[in-house]
Structure 1
């Protein structure tokens, strides 16, 4: 975890960039990401040179070996005059990383072609380089802390209006990953990956749970094929690729794909899908893949994405996704057909209702988590409903930490559903038979099944209440007389 001191240093770098005229948080993070990548290339080069010195074997180099090429290395230019640094980074290093290919082509460098160097002045650039260097040399001791550093920077998107759509709160992502419990053998995908938060949380879970027992083949799988993220925003793809690199995932499948379009042909590919797809907007009807329209004939992205998850999962594959409440109870044919598809042809396991403040300060929309398994042959028997009231943070715009937190209870109960059989719909969680869901037109909103117990209040008879009022009036009159006597003296 990052200390308050480290956070303050990051905030100082951020303030320096803002003071230089870059006020869009997304642009700030982009520019910092480029510089972090430039520094990481020099770190790799130093490791290769160290390997050569120890082993005597020749290692491939990242930078050209002439004077011009060596001048582009972070360790070579960082102490120079600010104007020289600005010139080197702007005219040499940046074009170099944009053109990287061959063995050095990472998921990040693939999306550098349309990147722009926007640091406004030599002085601002020098402050950023000095600040980052101090962080890495004195505060960031390992990969986990690098990941935490980047996560903290990405967290600033949550306070930036529309940019907040790219981020699901980390504790919610972590909960969803623990509900899925991925293994080192799984292939995991987020078809609307944003900054790759779900993939990062999955990677952290796998390392935490299985690190000591993973084979070399599993580590190779972890570094590459295990994680796939799709998005239509190249800026997001750059940020997500960097985020994954900082979490030891050196070659993830981060691809520019319009997931619900005919461009995306992926089918029966993944063991786990974790996602918070776009809630609003529609797409061009002509571009939507026909097999999605066969499940839910609509242009609404929130419905199309759920149909897409079913298609992209292998049989036996599992999904945990966030959906707006309208998906649960919408009355259009498209809404009903999607819910019927999940309940009748696959296995719907859980609907977890989230409190509406989870996505504040930038959205107050009511949402839920759907958890289902692709079977192609039904399997829904009972569906578990949970009415989540607290997530460890206040539900106002400040989202301050509080003691009340339903997440541990959700995890414990979901992984022991056999113990839920005796619970009633009046409680916070309960099981509902598939037949009841079918009878309710496949409505999946918790309020359809939750029963509210009203406490009976018994009042005294009117005569008793009147007598009590008379008694109070007598007491008031006596006190008034006592007060008049005091005033008369």
Structure 2
């Protein structure tokens, strides 16, 4: 994978997102051929006809296993010129339709920007060496490629650290019949991690066809406004064994998606904190929940609209959401606490999103009820996440996440914890009295250690003693220099 990255870099393509997008196209072209090869083997074994023809016999030269053996110039011509059935390899990839799976839906404006036969040949030969038979291997390799996105994207987008996503998924513990959505999907990290959680913890569920169909076709939903991110997210999900995720290309907050109501039982998200939107561009039902132009507040209103009754939500928010004093800030906090069930507030250290951003963030975990239900809210003061809190983000021993997960799933033991502890419960009434403020510092108590100082007379005497010693040392030095 490093060699693939290096080839793109030396070939003049240095933007990380562009590299990943071009890599994704080539990976998809290889998968198309492998999908038909699998069907052809099946037909050869048991007879019958191909049900899902991706390549006709005339299109043989457009297949990965054919063009990978060509010389660089011939391969490049096959990619860029309509040589077979008035199509190039790249044209065929864009036009293959439903036969190519969910990824193909988002290919209409895909562009090949690999400019030389040499670079194309280098990357094709390297991709050909990747073991695509093992789901874990190919999924991990793609995630490794995504980890190389080291710059903030447009509109405040940046990649959520995978260990924080896993923490939120471990809190939510996806259920067998969940319908999971990330309305700001990006590379689909939350959906991928939820799928991996189910494979690791409930392998037996996959033995039943009913669950496998639900897992592959109905369980995972994502909404993303950026074309490149939708394509990358679709490939990420497919490489992790989720064959037909429901991905929508669009703006979650817009009127065009206003009919998505009470559809999901679990929302996992890190929505963009990109500033302000005009009221005209936001769907009206969201504005009824929270009258604001700030995206971080609007998304919370959106989640309440999208969730089914009893649905859970784990979302990353900037610290300002917890204590902001504007009418909109107070309104959305009161809505969640008073009319639904706020379960937990996780305060995270400010370095968790470095090197992308240094903003202080928190995780809110709540359940949609429509009838209230907030009794005690669980607060956790996370001081370490297993990585250094500087731009390097190197692994360190200090990590509160295992303790956090263990305590979260044993809340009965949290009753009676002191406010000086890392975690504690705060009753509804106290939060209401504090104008729905959710900042942990409002409720956490700091234990001060009493320090005893010497009396001034002793301190003065010590200073005088030091003065005498200094004077004697100076006289000794002068004697040595005579």
What pairs up with 1:360-371 in 2 under 5 angstroms? 360-371=354-365
User: 1:315 is paired with a residue of what secondary structure?
Assistant: strand
So what's the TM-score if we normalise by structure 1? 0.94
For the pair 1:442 / 2:426, whether they are aligned, the reply is no
CA distance in 2, matches of 1:356, 1:86: 47
Which residue of 307, 323, 326 corresponds with 1:329? Answer: 323
Check conservation: 1:385, 1:446, Cα contact below 8 A: yes
* Map of 1:58 onto structure 2: 49
Which residue of 127, 130, 155 corresponds with 1:132? Answer: 127
Q: Cα offset for 1:487?
A: 4.9
Q: Cα offset for 1:45?
A: 1.2
* Map of 1:86 onto structure 2: 76
Check conservation: 1:63, 1:70, Cα contact below 8 A: no
* Unmatched tracts of structure 1, length 5 or more: 1-9
Q: Cα RMSD between the aligned structures?
A: 1.5
* Map of 1:219 onto structure 2: 212
User: 1:426 is paired with a residue of what secondary structure?
Assistant: coil
* Map of 2:36 onto structure 1: 45
Which residue of 453, 460, 482 corresponds with 1:459? Answer: 453
* Map of 1:7 onto structure 2: none
* Map of 1:4 onto structure 2: none
* Map of 1:6 onto structure 2: none
User: 1:349 is paired with a residue of what secondary structure?
Assistant: strand
CA distance in 2, matches of 1:31, 1:484: 76
Distance 1:25 1:62, change over 3 A: farther
For the pair 1:202 / 2:194, whether they are aligned, the reply is yes
Q: Cα offset for 1:64?
A: 3.5
* Map of 2:84 onto structure 1: none
* Map of 2:335 onto structure 1: 341
Q: Cα offset for 1:483?
A: 4.5
Report Cα offsets for 1:334-355 as digits up to 9, x if no partner.
1111000000000001110111
* Map of 1:23 onto structure 2: 14
Which shows bigger deviation, 478-487 or 50-59? 478-487
Which residue of 58, 61, 82 corresponds with 1:71? Answer: 61
For the pair 1:13 / 2:9, whether they are aligned, the reply is no
Check conservation: 1:82, 1:122, Cα contact below 8 A: yes
Q: Cα offset for 1:481?
A: 4.8
Distance 1:64 1:460, change over 3 A: closer
Report Cα offsets for 1:299-327 as digits up to 9, x if no partner.
21111101111111111110000001111
CA distance in 1, matches of 2:142, 2:475: 74
User: 1:318 is paired with a residue of what secondary structure?
Assistant: strand
* Map of 2:248 onto structure 1: 255
CA distance in 2, matches of 1:37, 1:124: 18
For the pair 1:144 / 2:136, whether they are aligned, the reply is yes
Report Cα offsets for 1:204-237 as digits up to 9, x if no partner.
0011111124321101111110000001111111
Which residue of 114, 124, 127 corresponds with 1:119? Answer: 114
CA distance in 2, matches of 1:270, 1:297: 23
For the pair 1:419 / 2:410, whether they are aligned, the reply is no
CA distance in 2, matches of 1:161, 1:316: 35
Which residue of 310, 316, 330 corresponds with 1:316? Answer: 310
For the pair 1:232 / 2:225, whether they are aligned, the reply is yes
* Map of 1:3 onto structure 2: none
Which residue of 399, 403, 408 corresponds with 2:393? Answer: 399
* Unmatched tracts of structure 2, length 5 or more: 82-87
Check conservation: 2:32, 2:100, Cα contact below 8 A: no
Distance 1:44 1:462, change over 3 A: same
Q: Cα offset for 1:93?
A: 1.3
User: 1:147 is paired with a residue of what secondary structure?
Assistant: helix
